[in-house]
Chain A
Amino acid sequence: MTALPPHIAPVISGQVRYSQDQELPGMLHARILRSPFAHARIVRVDASALPDGVVALLPADVRELGRYGCQIKDQSVLAFDRARYAGDPVAAVAAESAEEAEEALASIEVDYEELPAALGIDDALTAQVLVHDRIQISDNDASYFGIRPESGTNVCHRFRIAHGDIDEGFARADVIVEETFRTAAAQHAAMEPHACLASWDGDRLDLWTGTHTPFNVREDVAGVFGLPEENVRVVCPPMGGSFGAKTFVRLEALTAALARKASRPVRCVLPRSEEWVTNNRHPSLIRVRIGALEDGTLVAKDVQAWIDTGAYADCGPGVAVKIGYSVVGPYRIPNVSVESRCVYTNAPPNGAFRGFGATQAVWASESLMDRLADRLGIDPLDLRLRNVLRSGDTFCTGEAVHDVHFADCLERAASAIGWKDGRRGKGLCVLLKGMQTPSRAAIAIEAEDDGSYTLRCATAEMGQGSRRALSLVASELLGVPVEEVRFPDPDTSIVPYDTRATSSRSTYMMGRALEEAVRDLRHDGRRGVGEVRNEGGLDPDTGQGLASSHWHQGAGAAVVRVDEETGKVEVVRLHAAVYAGRVVNPPGAELQNEGSMIMGLGGALLEGVVFADGQVTNANLSDYEIPSIADMPELTHELVQQVGAEVHGLGETAVPPVPAAIGNALGSLGLHVTELPITAEAVLDAVDRRDRAAREPA
């Protein structure tokens, strides 16, 4: 019996040691005390009854520490004046065991004075509650574009696209359709919760933490403690999934502050229910108006979008930007106006979520494309093909697009579900998704004495398979078996700087940096370093510039059956066609596509965070359902490749088309839904609306 390959054996035999499994001698275990109120003044925190041997971190301990926030510095280590959401940390404890820490939480008394709260986007735009009195833009590397707060409101960023002449565009249109779409908050629900281990040696801090943004974390945590960045070391053990949840500072600042107070290493492994008050996907409210000529040529699109970033901005401003151009879709539209706003509310913070705004944007824009097709009496596939961006066309950002395959992806998706044989119960969707631009990536290769090579880079492994993909690229470039390539856990004290392992950029960007590093190694013999940058970015006030140095492209197709008595939607078939350029690691690429589609299926039909008075009411995996193997439809997909093409990231592209394709499949039955997730109640309402309309005289 042959042994399993070394990149597989630890996984299969259960020997992977994740962030939550890290330990140090003398380590204490942390638990967090959280506000039960969505918005409250913290009047008094009394820890005088704390059991012996338990250390508490209290507001007085953090008042003098710096604030953090990757785009806006709006978060303190604990809430010390106001709790801004139900779940906002107000104290934390460390004890010999997690159970003792949990019990010790009850010994801390907090008096609150409840304040009116802004619950949801509508509330935050109209209510007299200001979640933050002032906005301090972050100098973190993740704050890479002009942030435009609207002073005196809860809007912390407004992104705008102005392209062509929107009034003239609509004046030319023969048909105009308009609709408002909403999406609920969703929870990443990675199998491994957030976990962090912090240890101090004098004024040097070591963090072993589940993050794929180690340098952003280092910068923010150093700022909190007023330390040079070099004094903070961030190590990234493998993560049991992230899907965007484990980006930027989550538990790191709090765990480090607790460890400093305890003078002992402290580990914080988040209890499952607290995942829902740590990071969710942005709820959205998107109004889209689109105009076309009789023959289906698009002439104008006007979008007003709002996303609920919760009590702390996190990367919400960035999500608003990505929504801003994703919502235009992969189409030639001469006149475009977009305003996309990121809004503070008294909800738990919302942040990066696989798709990064594209899910919300595509839901709105691609649902409306089918309404337009209906009104025009044109096949939805033909309408898309008539307008879809082709190589050399200009996008609404003013940039020309190249190496684009939207039409090909669409045709493949349509053909997979037998579009030509009848459209009832079938839906299509096409999307474009940007990659982090600007950014930089760097990697070092070291030749070891035993003839092997070590890769040192900041690309963390969360299941996406980057470690395997980059090892395979290195093996090919170096001409050695992949077993001779080692890839230790990222450690900011020894790896070169990288923007972050997000936006499906690592295989592409780090792969290119690796080519440079191998060239450099040939000169030096022992060590090679490669660095690449992708330049660009958009003007926040006009949306003009370069949104993405290349495009993630895909299309989805769904076939549904609906039980009109119960409102139950059964997805019988899902297909996605995603442009891969060139595939580096076939099983890894397939898994990314399949996993994305299944996550999209959950977002379409099952997943929405439910709130009552600002408190999450379904913060567990029995009330918040994620897809199981029993929910699987017949699921197929294609990775579209082209000889000589560059690698395109695949981590997220197949998420956003799934909900919109399912929604459009419902639309083909006359059932129009506008909100995600698509609930049975919404389907029953849609059945009523359709049947009422059929009874009414035209």
Chain B
Amino acid sequence: MKVSFRLNGRPALVHAGAGENLLTVLRRDLGVLSVRETCGIGVCGACTALVDGEPISTCLLLAPLADGCEIVTVEGLPDDHAVPRAFAEAHAFQCGFCTPGMILTAAALLDENPTPTDEEIRAALAGNLCRCGCYVKIMEAVRLAAV
């Protein structure tokens, strides 16, 4: 079926199977490789995109349900966005596989709550796993982006 949405500010039109998830469509049909599959069951956050401003596991969202939505991946954040800059400054990554999802979730948090406590940062990012274990510096990055 035809699915149309806005991706990083531009209109996108794809043909997706009724059972296909947004992650597959973004990667296969739209060439967005910054969304990545790790767990495939919505627990790791590596496939996070902002769907109407909310961080969503795109591996769990059926593509047709994204019809009419505003979708943002890390490529769609403005160049001067505080969160990617803070992740760079704090060196909050190792292999980088989880980094786009982490950044998007942190960006959504700061949109809603510009001055989160450490507890609030932890709660917001608990669904984004980093097996390299960069959490110390990820905390620093989000604190840095918040000020």
Residues of chain A having any CB pair with chain B under 8 Å? 1, 4-5, 8-18, 20-21, 188-193, 238-241, 243, 271-272, 462-465, 587-588, 590-591, 594-599, 620-622, 626-630, 632, 635
User: Which of B44, B88, B133 contacts A12, CB < 8 Å?
Assistant: B88
Pick from B40, B41, B97, B127: contact of A191, CB below 8 A: B97
A10 contacts which chain B residues (CB < 8 A)? 96
With A191-B44, A595-B132, A599-B133 in contact, do A12 and B93 touch (Cβ < 8 Å)?
Answer: yes
B134 contacts chain A at the CB level, 8 A cutoff: yes
- Tell me whether B126 is interfacial, beta carbon within 8 Å: yes
A463 and B38 in contact (CB under 8 A), knowing A16-B96, A192-B95, A241-B97? no
> In the complex, are the beta carbons of B41 and A622 less than 8 A apart?
yes
0 or 1 for each of B49-84: is its CB under 8 Å from A? (1 = yes): 000000000000000000000000111000110001
Other-chain contact of A635, B73, B97, B125, B136 (Cβ < 8 Å): B136
Partner of B122, one of A241, A243, A464, A629: A629
B residues contacting A by CB (< 8 A) are: 33-41, 43-44, 46, 73-75, 79-80, 84-85, 87-88, 91, 93-100, 103, 121-123, 125-139
In the bound complex, CA of A596 to CA of B135 (Å):
11
Closest 5 CB pairs of A and B: A14-B34, A463-B95, A240-B97, A598-B133, A595-B133
Given contacts A238-B96, A595-B94, 9 further A-B contacts (CB under 8 A): A4-B85, A8-B88, A14-B35, A191-B130, A594-B135, A596-B133, A626-B131, A627-B133, A630-B123
**Which residue of B38, B79, B88, B103 contacts A192 across the interface (Cβ within 8 Å)?**
B38
Say yes or no: A630 contacts B126, CB within 8 Å.
yes
Instruction: Report the Cα distance A41→B47, complex, angstroms.
Output: 40
Q: Are the C-beta atoms of A13 and B74 separated by less than 8 Å? A: yes
Docked complex Cα distance between A629 and B44 (Å): 12
The majority secondary structure among interface residues of chain A is loop
- A-B contacts counted at CB < 8 A amount to 156
A594, B41: Cβ atoms under 8 Å? no
Task: Return the chain A residue nearest B86 by Cβ.
Answer: A12
Assess whether A14 is in contact with B95, with CB atoms less than 8 Å apart.
no
**Interchain residue pairs with CB less than 8 A apart (9):** A190-B131, A272-B39, A587-B137, A621-B41, A628-B128, A629-B126, A629-B130, A630-B126, A632-B135
Nearest A residue (CB) for B87: A12
State whether A629 and B98 are in contact (beta carbons under 8 Å apart), knowing that A191-B130, A620-B39, A622-B41 are contacts in the complex. Answer: no
- Chain A residues near B137 (CB-CB < 8 A): 587, 590-591, 594
Q: A241-B131, A627-B133 are in contact. Are A14 and B38 (CB under 8 A)?
A: no
Q: Which residues of B contact A621 (CB under 8 A)?
A: 38-39, 41, 43-44, 129
Set of chain B residues within 8 Å of A463, measured between Cβ atoms? 93-97, 132
Question: Which residues of A are found within 8 Å of B84, using beta-carbon distances?
Answer: 4, 12-13
**A14 touching B40, Cβ below 8 Å:** no
How far apart are the CA atoms of A11 and B84 in the complex, in Å? 10
Known: A12-B84, A629-B125. A241 touches B135 (CB 8 A): no
Interfacial chain A residues near B74, Cβ < 8 Å: 12-14
Expressed in whole angstroms, the minimum distance between the Cβ of B54 and any Cβ of chain A is: 19
Kindly state the separation between the CA atoms of A649 and B73 in the bound complex, as whole angstroms.
36
Given contacts A620-B41, A622-B39, contact A191 B134 (CB under 8 A): no
